[in-house]
Structures are given as C-alpha cells and as structure tokens.
Structure 1
Amino acid sequence: MIISAFAFTFMNVFVKALDSFSVYQIVFFRSLGTLFFTVPFLLKNQISLLGNKRGLLVLRSGFGLISMLLFFLSLKFITLGIAVSLRYIAPIFAAFFALILLKEKIKPIQWLFFAIAFSGVIVLKGLGAELNLKGVVFALVSALFAGLVYISIRKIGGKDHPVVVVNYFMVISAIIGGLLSINNWINPKGTEWLVLLSLGVFGYFAQLYMTKAMQLGETNQVAPLKYLEVIFTIILGLLWFEEIYTLWSLIGILLIIIGLTLNVFTKKKSLAL
C-alpha cells in the first residue's frame, strides 16, 4: 500500500507539472501508458478483452473517465494536497449510492465519521487558504463520480477479471481523451514524452499494488495506509511547486483522513460480525 501511495503521488505531481497540456491530452497519455501493461497481460493469459458485463464495464469506464478528467482539471486550480484530500471524500458518496441503489445499511456511527470527514471539507473551504472555488468543485464532483465507480465495480463483482475492468477504462479513456485533444494538441518535446507516458506506468503500478495490499492484508491494517498519498503529495507539493498550506488547511485535511480512516475500521468490524 505504501508503494501504491508513492506511485499515485508521483502520478499526481507529474500531472500538475504538465500544466501546459490540456487535461484531455494528459488523460490520453495516462491511459495509453497503462494499456502497454493491461493488453499484453490479457492476451498472455487468454482472457477475453471484451469481458462479460459489457454494459457495466462501459458504465464504470464512463464514470471513471469523468472522475479522472475533473480531478486532473482541479490540479490546475488548487494545491496537490487539497485536491487529493477532496478526492478521498469518494467513500462518502459511495456509501450514499450504496444505500440508495444497493440497499446496503450504514451504521449510525458511520454517519458521525462521515460528518467528521466532511467537516474537513468545510474547514478547507471556509477557514483554510483562499481556495479557488472552481478547483474545489471539480475535485468534489470528481469524488462523486469516483463513488459511482465503486458502486459499478460492486455490481460487476467477480464476473470479470480486475485487469479487464481496468483495460476497458483505459481503452475508452484513451479514445475519448485522444479525440477531445485533437484541436488543442501540443507535440511533446524531449523528456515530456517520458513524463507523459510515465503517468500510465505509475497509474498501473499504483492500482496493482493497492489491489495486492487488499488481497494480502487485513482491510483495517492496509486501507488507512492509502492516505499516506496525501502526506507524500503535500511534501512533494511543498518541495517541487513551493505550495503553501495554512494551519487551517492542514486541520481540514487531517479531519478528512481521520473521518475516513475511522469509517474503514467500523466497516471492518461490521464485516467480522
């Protein structure tokens, strides 16, 4: 999970560093880089690229694409650490959608933890640094669609291999990202090619090691470690982009992490029961 957090962090940092490129072109290269891993894996293991739950696979890919586009867009307006923290509100939206669409129950104590996490959002916007409202909205709506991604993956269940799910997402993202970037295409120069293609590499290994962590360890042990991404991102944001975080900003981020981490422990306990 720590390796995953590092990989996600570097992907986020490189996305922000590529501010001269449109988000559509960044999405195109991020998706293309991952396809270099997913397609050979599926072909080697003779797994159908088309999958079984094709309608849900397309739906999940659409939700994921919108979420990714909006998150990358938010990085153009707000600091890395705050954007990543706001994106992690996704489990709250996922819980609401699960309650409505999947009829799953939410324990009363979870509402308290969700309130703690969301209070962090209020602190960030209300008491933290003067945040760009557009960037905050982009990050929050990105989290909302990430919540829908969780629900669609739950609906797919074990009917399709995880790499098939990722491959669908990357193929659709590469096609749409490529088409939308045609009018504003910028030819990468020198190391820009390496940075753009590395987005897919970091994204792939981030997902791979996060999945491995969940498979090997107890959820309540490894899941909270994914929030290390926030800490790593803040540190790199300070060093690389000289970003500034006020005390209130850090308190807001801490409230989000605490609320969501406590929710992970609560969910684990309910599963054990």
Structure 2
Amino acid sequence: MLKKAIQYMVISALAFTFLNVFVKSLHNFSVYQIVFFRSLGSLFFTIPFLLKNKISLKGNKKALLVARSVFGLISMTLFFLSLKYIAMGAAVSLRYIAPVFAAFFAVYFLKERVKPIQWLFFILAFSGVLVLKGFDNKLQIEGVVFALISAIFAGLVYITIRKIGSKDHPVVVVNYFMIISAVIGGILSINNWQTPQLNEWLIFLSLGVFGYFGQVYMTKALQLGETSKLAPLKYLEVVFSMLIGLIWFSENYTLFSLLGIGLIISGLLLNLFVKGK
C-alpha cells in the first residue's frame, strides 16, 4: 500500500511540475487567459464525474465553497504571474510557505494550538525566504512578492477547506473552484485575448489535464498512506521544477538560491515531522 501511495505522490509531483513548465512557456499570454484554460480543462473531468456519480453540483456549504474558490483563484493567478519573473524552483518553494500562513490562520480562526517548536521551524523556513531574496540579486522582487502573496491566499484555502470538512465531496470543492476561475479568468482575459497557434492550443488544453491528474493522484496517495509519511514527497515538485527549469529554460541557481530553497524545505519538513508525531 505504501509503495503504491509513494508512486502516486511522485506522479502527482510530476504532473504539477509539467503544469508549471507549460504555464511558464506561455509567458507571452495574459495570466488571466492561462487561468481560464487551466480551469476550463479541469471542468471536462470534474463535471462528468459529478454527473456520473449523481453528486449535486450545488454543494452544501455554498458560502465557504465560494470563499475557497476566490482564495484559490487569487493564489493561482499570483503564482502563475510569479513564474513570469522568477525561476520555477524559487516560485514553487515560495508558494510552499503556505502551511506557515495556514498555521497562523488556524490559531486565529480555528483556535488550534501550535507547538512552540513549530514556530521555530516556521522562522527557519522564513529565513530561507530572506536568504533567497536578500542575497540573490537575480530574483526580481515582483516575482517574490507575487509568490508570497499567493502563499498567503493558499493558506486561507487550507483553512476554508478545513471549515468545509466532509460536508461536501472533494470534487464538488474543486468544481466550484474551476467554474469560478474559468468565468472570472475568461472575463478578465477578453481585453488582452490572443488567439493561440496550433502548438499553443495543445499546451493550453494540457493545463487542465496536468492540474486535474496532479490533484487526483495526490488524493489517491493520501487515501492509501499516512499523511505524515507522504506529505514530504510533495516537495519533489521543487526538485523536479529546478531540474526541468535548468534543462528547458536554462534557468540557473546561485549558491544563495539553493541555500534559501534548502532552508524553506527543511523548515517545512521539520514542521511536518513534529506535527505528525
């Protein structure tokens, strides 16, 4: 079971990595147009699934579903925007600061307790952000800011999903997110719409596929194995993004970039370990 779960997590990390790669390759297009196609592509999977299994598309916690969708839309848009400015590995690392913000929000909104040592690990992760930007002049400040604000809204997504709990099917939650993102992304992209070439159409259409299967295989993995053992594997996305970025986009990382990314991942992995125990 654990071996299968690990395989699923690796597949999920690869799917999300290729999603990042194709988003970055579409840098000439409006970020809203990218959001539109990313969301539209996933709807070809979520809506048939819900209809086939006779699950209501309306959901139960409508206000929370809309809030989760808006937070997710803002986070996704800003993350895609950050990929236009900084290397993929750096952008993905900064986005994964989200659990730190989620912990802050959980203390305030959900009255959850955080162990004192976890705050130490959060500081370690944030020190990685400071090293990443403070000592690497190649990183554009716009990209770092977009990625960090994306992480803040991703933290709000985690909290909202926790509030929804088991009241709604996971695919209903994703479907709400994709519908709202497709509508808003489509409207905002009208003024700057560019008609893609044939090869660009293929890339656009693949965004929803990679995004959907990344989510599906991550969910399957977490259903088979313990979260504390599998969650660290999601950081493979950082490694894959760095490797493909080096090969595909000729991205390069300074020693300080690698140190900063290492501190971020170390702080988050230590937090997962302590939380798991």
TM-score bin (small chain):
over 0.9
Partner of 2:236: 228
Contact 1:24 1:181 in 2 (8 A): yes
Partner of 2:44: 36
Paired with 1:2 and 1:128, the residues of 2 have a C-alpha distance of: 30
Partner of 2:35: 27
Superposition deviation, residue 128 in structure 1: 2.4
Partner of 1:199: 207
For 1:166, which of 174, 187, 197 is the aligned residue? 174
1:115-150 C-alpha deviation (Å, 9 max, x unpaired): 111111011011124311111000000000000000
Partner of 2:131: 123
Q: TM-score, normalised by structure 2?
A: 0.96
For 1:188, which of 190, 193, 196 is the aligned residue? 196
Partner of 2:17: 9
Partner of 2:62: 54
Paired with 1:85 and 1:170, the residues of 2 have a C-alpha distance of: 24
Paired with 1:77 and 1:169, the residues of 2 have a C-alpha distance of: 25
Number of aligned pairs?
A: 269
Structure 1 runs not aligned, ≥5 long: none
CA RMSD, 1 decimal: 0.6
Paired with 2:136 and 2:273, the residues of 1 have a C-alpha distance of: 28
Paired with 1:220 and 1:166, the residues of 2 have a C-alpha distance of: 23
Partner of 2:268: 260
Give the residue type in structure 1 aligned to 2:108. I
Percent identical: 74
Paired with 2:178 and 2:231, the residues of 1 have a C-alpha distance of: 24
Contact 1:129 1:245 in 2 (8 A): no
Structure 2 runs not aligned, ≥5 long: 1-8
Structure 1 residue ranges, 4+ long, deviating more than 4 angstroms after superposition: none
Paired with 2:112 and 2:10, the residues of 1 have a C-alpha distance of: 30
**Stretch moving more, 182-191 or 127-136:** 127-136
Give the residue type in structure 2 aligned to 1:176. I
Partner of 2:111: 103
Q: Secondary structure at the match of 2:247?
A: helix
Paired with 1:201 and 1:91, the residues of 2 have a C-alpha distance of: 26
Q: Is 1:209 aligned to residue 199 of structure 2?
A: no
Q: TM-score, normalised by structure 1?
A: 0.98
Give the residue type in structure 2 aligned to 1:260. L
Q: Following superposition of structure 1 onto structure 2, how do residues 131-146 of structure 1 map, counting pairs within 5 Å? A: 131-146=139-154
Superposition deviation, residue 267 in structure 1: 1.1
Paired with 1:17 and 1:261, the residues of 2 have a C-alpha distance of: 30
Superposition deviation, residue 232 in structure 1: 0.2
Paired with 1:87 and 1:70, the residues of 2 have a C-alpha distance of: 10
Give the residue type in structure 2 aligned to 1:252. G
1:155-205 C-alpha deviation (Å, 9 max, x unpaired): 000000000000000000000000000000011111111100111000001
